[in-house]
Structure 1
Amino acid sequence: MTKVDFYLLTSRQPQASKRFTCKLIEKVYRLGHQVYIQVEDQAQAQEMDDLLWTFRQGSFVPHALVNSEEATGTPVLIGYDGEPGGKLELLINLGAEVPAFFSRFQRVAEVIGPDETHRHAGRQRYRYYRDHGCSLETHELNF
Protein backbone atom coordinates (compact mmCIF):
# COMPACT_ATOMS: atom_id res chain seq x y z
CA MET A 1 0.00 0.00 0.00
CA THR A 2 1.32 3.43 -0.94
CA LYS A 3 1.75 5.97 1.86
CA VAL A 4 0.89 9.53 0.84
CA ASP A 5 2.05 12.59 2.78
CA PHE A 6 0.38 15.92 2.14
CA TYR A 7 2.51 18.94 3.08
CA LEU A 8 0.18 21.93 3.53
CA LEU A 9 2.25 25.09 3.42
CA THR A 10 0.96 28.31 4.98
CA SER A 11 3.65 30.78 3.91
CA ARG A 12 2.67 33.19 1.19
CA GLN A 13 6.30 34.12 0.52
CA PRO A 14 7.25 33.91 -3.16
CA GLN A 15 8.89 30.60 -4.01
CA ALA A 16 8.07 29.08 -0.56
CA SER A 17 6.58 25.91 -2.09
CA LYS A 18 9.56 25.49 -4.39
CA ARG A 19 12.10 26.06 -1.60
CA PHE A 20 10.30 23.57 0.63
CA THR A 21 10.24 21.01 -2.19
CA CYS A 22 13.98 21.41 -2.76
CA LYS A 23 14.68 20.94 0.97
CA LEU A 24 12.47 17.84 1.02
CA ILE A 25 14.29 16.41 -2.01
CA GLU A 26 17.66 17.13 -0.42
CA LYS A 27 16.62 15.42 2.84
CA VAL A 28 15.29 12.34 1.06
CA TYR A 29 18.39 12.12 -1.14
CA ARG A 30 20.68 12.30 1.91
CA LEU A 31 18.70 9.44 3.45
CA GLY A 32 19.68 7.37 0.39
CA HIS A 33 16.34 7.18 -1.40
CA GLN A 34 15.63 7.24 -5.13
CA VAL A 35 13.23 10.09 -6.02
CA TYR A 36 11.05 10.95 -8.99
CA ILE A 37 9.64 14.48 -9.24
CA GLN A 38 6.51 14.70 -11.39
CA VAL A 39 5.97 18.16 -12.88
CA GLU A 40 3.47 19.60 -15.36
CA ASP A 41 5.63 20.37 -18.38
CA GLN A 42 9.09 21.02 -19.81
CA ALA A 43 9.22 24.57 -18.42
CA GLN A 44 8.50 23.39 -14.87
CA ALA A 45 11.00 20.54 -15.28
CA GLN A 46 13.71 23.00 -16.30
CA GLU A 47 12.79 25.34 -13.45
CA MET A 48 13.06 22.50 -10.90
CA ASP A 49 16.36 21.41 -12.46
CA ASP A 50 17.73 24.95 -12.05
CA LEU A 51 16.39 25.32 -8.49
CA LEU A 52 18.03 22.11 -7.32
CA TRP A 53 21.41 23.57 -8.32
CA THR A 54 20.81 26.97 -6.72
CA PHE A 55 18.28 26.79 -3.87
CA ARG A 56 20.89 26.73 -1.10
CA GLN A 57 24.56 27.62 -0.99
CA GLY A 58 26.65 24.47 -0.60
CA SER A 59 23.82 22.06 -1.39
CA PHE A 60 24.41 19.20 -3.80
CA VAL A 61 21.55 17.02 -5.01
CA PRO A 62 22.53 14.91 -8.03
CA HIS A 63 19.56 15.04 -10.37
CA ALA A 64 18.64 14.89 -14.04
CA LEU A 65 15.72 15.18 -16.41
CA VAL A 66 14.29 11.73 -17.13
CA ASN A 67 15.06 11.64 -20.85
CA SER A 68 18.55 13.12 -20.59
CA GLU A 69 21.85 11.28 -20.99
CA GLU A 70 22.63 11.93 -17.31
CA ALA A 71 19.48 10.14 -16.07
CA THR A 72 20.99 6.64 -15.84
CA GLY A 73 22.01 5.98 -12.25
CA THR A 74 20.99 9.42 -11.00
CA PRO A 75 19.14 9.24 -7.66
CA VAL A 76 16.77 12.16 -8.33
CA LEU A 77 14.86 12.34 -11.61
CA ILE A 78 12.52 15.03 -12.93
CA GLY A 79 9.86 14.28 -15.54
CA TYR A 80 6.46 15.14 -16.89
CA ASP A 81 5.41 13.08 -19.89
CA GLY A 82 5.27 9.46 -18.84
CA GLU A 83 6.16 6.84 -16.32
CA PRO A 84 9.80 6.76 -15.26
CA GLY A 85 11.82 3.57 -15.49
CA GLY A 86 14.03 2.11 -12.82
CA LYS A 87 13.55 1.46 -9.14
CA LEU A 88 12.36 4.65 -7.50
CA GLU A 89 10.99 4.83 -3.96
CA LEU A 90 9.46 8.28 -3.58
CA LEU A 91 7.24 10.22 -5.94
CA ILE A 92 7.01 13.96 -5.31
CA ASN A 93 4.00 15.11 -7.26
CA LEU A 94 4.08 18.77 -8.27
CA GLY A 95 1.50 18.22 -11.01
CA ALA A 96 -2.18 19.08 -10.84
CA GLU A 97 -3.29 15.45 -11.28
CA VAL A 98 -2.38 12.17 -9.62
CA PRO A 99 -0.02 10.30 -11.95
CA ALA A 100 -1.54 7.01 -13.14
CA PHE A 101 1.59 5.15 -12.03
CA PHE A 102 1.65 6.48 -8.42
CA SER A 103 1.00 3.03 -6.89
CA ARG A 104 4.39 1.66 -7.98
CA PHE A 105 5.99 3.96 -5.39
CA GLN A 106 6.28 3.14 -1.69
CA ARG A 107 5.65 6.77 -0.81
CA VAL A 108 4.16 9.85 -2.44
CA ALA A 109 4.63 13.45 -1.30
CA GLU A 110 2.14 16.13 -2.29
CA VAL A 111 3.25 19.73 -1.70
CA ILE A 112 0.21 22.02 -1.41
CA GLY A 113 0.64 25.79 -1.52
CA PRO A 114 -1.49 28.21 0.51
CA ASP A 115 -3.68 29.65 -2.24
CA GLU A 116 -7.19 28.31 -2.73
CA THR A 117 -6.50 26.94 -6.23
CA HIS A 118 -3.74 24.68 -4.85
CA ARG A 119 -5.83 23.71 -1.82
CA HIS A 120 -8.81 22.74 -3.98
CA ALA A 121 -6.67 20.61 -6.31
CA GLY A 122 -4.98 19.07 -3.25
CA ARG A 123 -8.36 18.10 -1.76
CA GLN A 124 -9.30 16.38 -5.02
CA ARG A 125 -6.04 14.43 -5.03
CA TYR A 126 -6.54 13.53 -1.35
CA ARG A 127 -9.95 12.03 -2.16
CA TYR A 128 -8.45 10.13 -5.11
CA TYR A 129 -5.71 8.57 -2.98
CA ARG A 130 -8.20 7.80 -0.18
CA ASP A 131 -10.55 6.11 -2.67
CA HIS A 132 -7.62 3.99 -3.88
CA GLY A 133 -6.85 2.69 -0.39
CA CYS A 134 -3.69 4.67 0.32
CA SER A 135 -2.45 5.45 3.81
CA LEU A 136 -2.74 9.24 4.16
CA GLU A 137 -1.06 11.72 6.46
CA THR A 138 -1.30 15.51 6.50
CA HIS A 139 1.42 17.87 7.76
CA GLU A 140 0.62 21.57 8.21
CA LEU A 141 3.82 23.58 7.94
CA ASN A 142 4.47 27.25 8.50
CA PHE A 143 6.85 27.37 5.57
Structure 2
Amino acid sequence: MSRADYYILPDSDADSRAAFLCRLCDKILGLGLRVFISTEHESAARQLDQQLWSARPESFVPHVLLGQSPDSPIEIGWDDQLPDHRQVFVNLSGRLPDAAFGFERVVEIVVQTPEVLANLRQNYALCREHGFEIHNHDMRPRG
Protein backbone atom coordinates (compact mmCIF):
# COMPACT_ATOMS: atom_id res chain seq x y z
CA MET A 1 0.00 0.00 0.00
CA SER A 2 1.24 3.49 -0.82
CA ARG A 3 1.73 5.91 2.03
CA ALA A 4 1.69 9.64 2.59
CA ASP A 5 3.79 11.23 5.31
CA TYR A 6 2.95 14.69 6.62
CA TYR A 7 5.71 16.36 8.65
CA ILE A 8 4.13 19.24 10.55
CA LEU A 9 6.71 21.87 11.48
CA PRO A 10 6.13 24.67 14.01
CA ASP A 11 7.77 27.23 11.73
CA SER A 12 6.36 29.40 8.96
CA ASP A 13 9.46 30.18 6.90
CA ALA A 14 10.82 28.54 3.75
CA ASP A 15 14.31 28.17 5.23
CA SER A 16 12.97 25.90 7.99
CA ARG A 17 11.23 23.81 5.36
CA ALA A 18 14.46 23.46 3.34
CA ALA A 19 16.52 22.62 6.44
CA PHE A 20 14.04 19.92 7.45
CA LEU A 21 13.97 18.60 3.88
CA CYS A 22 17.74 18.22 3.98
CA ARG A 23 17.60 16.11 7.17
CA LEU A 24 14.68 14.10 5.80
CA CYS A 25 16.53 13.35 2.55
CA ASP A 26 19.48 12.04 4.59
CA LYS A 27 17.10 9.67 6.36
CA ILE A 28 15.36 8.51 3.17
CA LEU A 29 18.70 7.90 1.44
CA GLY A 30 19.69 5.78 4.44
CA LEU A 31 16.74 3.54 3.59
CA GLY A 32 18.12 3.07 0.07
CA LEU A 33 15.29 4.95 -1.63
CA ARG A 34 15.37 7.51 -4.43
CA VAL A 35 13.71 10.90 -3.99
CA PHE A 36 12.02 13.26 -6.40
CA ILE A 37 11.34 16.79 -5.13
CA SER A 38 8.64 18.62 -7.06
CA THR A 39 8.65 22.44 -7.03
CA GLU A 40 6.27 24.92 -8.66
CA HIS A 41 8.69 26.39 -11.18
CA GLU A 42 12.29 26.36 -12.35
CA SER A 43 13.40 29.28 -10.19
CA ALA A 44 12.11 27.50 -7.06
CA ALA A 45 13.99 24.34 -8.11
CA ARG A 46 17.21 26.30 -8.61
CA GLN A 47 16.79 28.05 -5.26
CA LEU A 48 16.23 24.72 -3.51
CA ASP A 49 19.29 23.32 -5.29
CA GLN A 50 21.39 26.10 -3.72
CA GLN A 51 19.77 25.64 -0.30
CA LEU A 52 20.55 21.92 -0.28
CA TRP A 53 24.23 22.62 -1.06
CA SER A 54 24.54 24.99 1.87
CA ALA A 55 21.96 23.71 4.37
CA ARG A 56 24.25 21.49 6.44
CA PRO A 57 27.98 22.11 6.23
CA GLU A 58 28.71 18.89 8.12
CA SER A 59 26.93 16.64 5.62
CA PHE A 60 26.42 16.17 1.90
CA VAL A 61 23.04 15.64 0.28
CA PRO A 62 23.66 14.33 -3.26
CA HIS A 63 21.17 15.90 -5.65
CA VAL A 64 20.75 17.30 -9.15
CA LEU A 65 18.15 19.16 -11.13
CA LEU A 66 16.15 16.57 -13.10
CA GLY A 67 17.91 15.69 -16.34
CA GLN A 68 21.37 16.83 -15.25
CA SER A 69 24.34 14.50 -15.05
CA PRO A 70 25.58 12.64 -13.18
CA ASP A 71 22.65 10.61 -11.92
CA SER A 72 21.75 11.20 -8.30
CA PRO A 73 19.42 9.52 -5.79
CA ILE A 74 17.76 12.92 -5.25
CA GLU A 75 16.35 14.83 -8.19
CA ILE A 76 14.61 18.21 -8.19
CA GLY A 77 12.04 19.07 -10.85
CA TRP A 78 9.24 21.52 -11.58
CA ASP A 79 5.92 21.75 -13.39
CA ASP A 80 4.99 18.33 -14.79
CA GLN A 81 8.51 16.86 -14.84
CA LEU A 82 8.87 13.31 -13.50
CA PRO A 83 11.86 11.09 -12.79
CA ASP A 84 12.30 7.54 -14.07
CA HIS A 85 11.54 6.02 -10.62
CA ARG A 86 8.34 5.97 -8.56
CA GLN A 87 9.71 5.68 -5.02
CA VAL A 88 9.44 8.93 -2.98
CA PHE A 89 7.67 12.08 -4.19
CA VAL A 90 8.30 15.18 -2.05
CA ASN A 91 5.74 17.84 -2.84
CA LEU A 92 6.89 21.44 -2.50
CA SER A 93 4.66 22.72 -5.28
CA GLY A 94 1.40 23.35 -3.48
CA ARG A 95 -1.35 21.28 -5.04
CA LEU A 96 -0.42 17.63 -5.37
CA PRO A 97 -0.29 16.60 -9.06
CA ASP A 98 -2.08 13.44 -10.22
CA ALA A 99 1.27 11.86 -11.14
CA ALA A 100 2.23 11.80 -7.44
CA PHE A 101 -0.31 9.05 -6.81
CA GLY A 102 1.81 6.66 -8.88
CA PHE A 103 4.63 6.83 -6.31
CA GLU A 104 5.14 4.44 -3.40
CA ARG A 105 5.40 7.31 -0.95
CA VAL A 106 4.31 10.95 -0.94
CA VAL A 107 5.92 13.38 1.49
CA GLU A 108 4.54 16.77 2.48
CA ILE A 109 6.43 19.21 4.73
CA VAL A 110 3.88 21.41 6.46
CA VAL A 111 4.85 24.93 7.52
CA GLN A 112 2.46 27.27 9.26
CA THR A 113 1.39 29.60 6.48
CA PRO A 114 -2.21 29.99 5.29
CA GLU A 115 -1.36 29.13 1.66
CA VAL A 116 0.61 25.98 2.52
CA LEU A 117 -1.99 24.83 5.04
CA ALA A 118 -4.85 25.29 2.54
CA ASN A 119 -3.04 23.30 -0.16
CA LEU A 120 -2.07 20.54 2.22
CA ARG A 121 -5.60 20.08 3.50
CA GLN A 122 -6.69 19.43 -0.10
CA ASN A 123 -3.71 17.14 -0.69
CA TYR A 124 -4.48 15.18 2.47
CA ALA A 125 -8.03 14.56 1.26
CA LEU A 126 -6.75 13.48 -2.18
CA CYS A 127 -4.29 11.01 -0.63
CA ARG A 128 -7.07 9.55 1.49
CA GLU A 129 -9.31 9.24 -1.60
CA HIS A 130 -6.52 7.39 -3.44
CA GLY A 131 -6.23 4.88 -0.59
CA PHE A 132 -2.86 6.04 0.75
CA GLU A 133 -1.94 5.00 4.27
CA ILE A 134 -1.51 8.38 5.98
CA HIS A 135 1.06 9.12 8.69
CA ASN A 136 1.22 12.45 10.53
CA HIS A 137 4.48 13.46 12.19
CA ASP A 138 3.79 16.48 14.39
CA MET A 139 7.13 18.20 15.02
CA ARG A 140 5.62 21.07 17.02
CA PRO A 141 6.59 21.29 20.69
CA ARG A 142 4.06 19.92 23.12
CA GLY A 143 2.69 22.57 25.48
Instruction: Confirm or deny a common fold (TM above 0.5).
Output: yes
Structure 1 alignment gaps of length 5 or more: none
State how many pairs are aligned.
Answer: 141
1:123 corresponds to 2:102:
no
CA RMSD of superposed structures (Å): 1.7
- Distance verdict in 2 for CA 1:14–1:76, change over 3 Å: closer
| TM-score computed with the length of structure 2 as normaliser | 0.89
Residues of 1 paired with 2:62 and 2:38: CA distance? 16
Aligned partner of 1:140 in structure 2 is 138
**Secondary structure, aligned partner of 2:67:** coil
The one-character-per-residue Cα deviations of 1:48-77 (angstroms, maximum 9, x if unpaired) are 11111110112111111112233xx31100
Distance 1:140 1:46 in 2: 28
Moved over 3 A (4+): none
Percentage of pairs with the same residue = 30
Provide the residue aligned with 1:98 in structure 2. Answer: 96
Structure 2 residues without counterparts, runs of 5 or longer: none
Q: TM-score, normalised by structure 1?
A: 0.89
| Separation (CA, whole Å) in 1 of partners of 2:101 and 2:26 | 23
Question: Match of 1:30?
Answer: 30
* Residue 43 of structure 1: how far off its partner (Å): 1.0
Cα drift, residue 103 of structure 1: 2.3
